Each structure stands twice: as structure tokens, then as C-alpha cells.
Amino acid sequence: MIPSSATIRFRSDGAPQVDASLRLTGSSQINCFTYPGKPPILAIDDAHVQVSITVPESGTVTPADLATAHRLAAAVASYITGLHERLPIADDRAA
């Protein structure tokens, strides 16, 4: 199994680039944290890599934020469809 990983690349213009590869398993933690009066936070934690997703401004949600969330949901739906259609599903009992 290939584990989750993250690398940081330092570019010549001074702006670092972070590349995180999540290899989600049954022990990966995926949560959505909600707080009164604040936008939610989607959190993914797998071994040594943690990713959190929220809006840029903590006190407001814009139409652009909602459009981005819908794009994220559409990408996740495509990911799920791809898992079902492109590869055979392994039988956990065989492991």
C-alpha cells in the first residue's frame, strides 16, 4: 500500500508549493465540523497528512464559496462513480 504523503517545494520566486497525496483507508478520519455563526470546516486526517477545507473569510459565506463547494461535491461524486465503474471491488473477506 502506498501511504499518504506531503511535500513542500520551494520555488525560485519564493512561493512554496505544497503537494499532498491522500491514500484514504478505513482508518482515515473525514469530518465536517460546524460552529454557530461560522462556516463549516471539512477535515481529512490520514496518518501524517491533514487537510482542512473552509472558506477564505471566517465570518461570511459568499456565492463564490457556495459555487466552489458545489464543484467540490461534483468532483467527489465523479470520484465515487469512477470507483464503482472502473475497477472491480475487492472482497474484504479474502484479505
Tens-place pLDDT, residues 6-21: 889 898 888 899 888 8
| Residue 66 DSSP code | H
Flag whether 92 is in a domain: no
Residue length, the chain? 95
| Residue 92 DSSP code | G
pTM exceeds 0.85, yes or no: no
Instruction: Identify the domain containing residue 62 by its residue range.
Output: 5-87
Instruction: Extract the runs of DSSP E, i.e. beta strands, from the chain.
Output: 5-10, 16-21, 29-35, 38-46, 49-53
pLDDT-derived band at 33, boundaries 50, 70, 90? very high
Flag whether 67 is in a domain: yes
pLDDT-derived band at 95, boundaries 50, 70, 90? very low
Determine the longest span between alpha carbons in the chain, in angstroms.
51
Answer whether 34's CB lies under 8 Å from 78's CB: no
The Cβ of residue 61 has, within 10 Å, a number of other Cβ atoms equal to: 15
Query: What's the number of domains the chain is made of?
Result: 1
Flag whether 94 is in a domain: no
Tens-place pLDDT, residues 35-91: 999 999 999 999 888 999 999 998 889 999 999 999 999 999 999 999 888 767 776
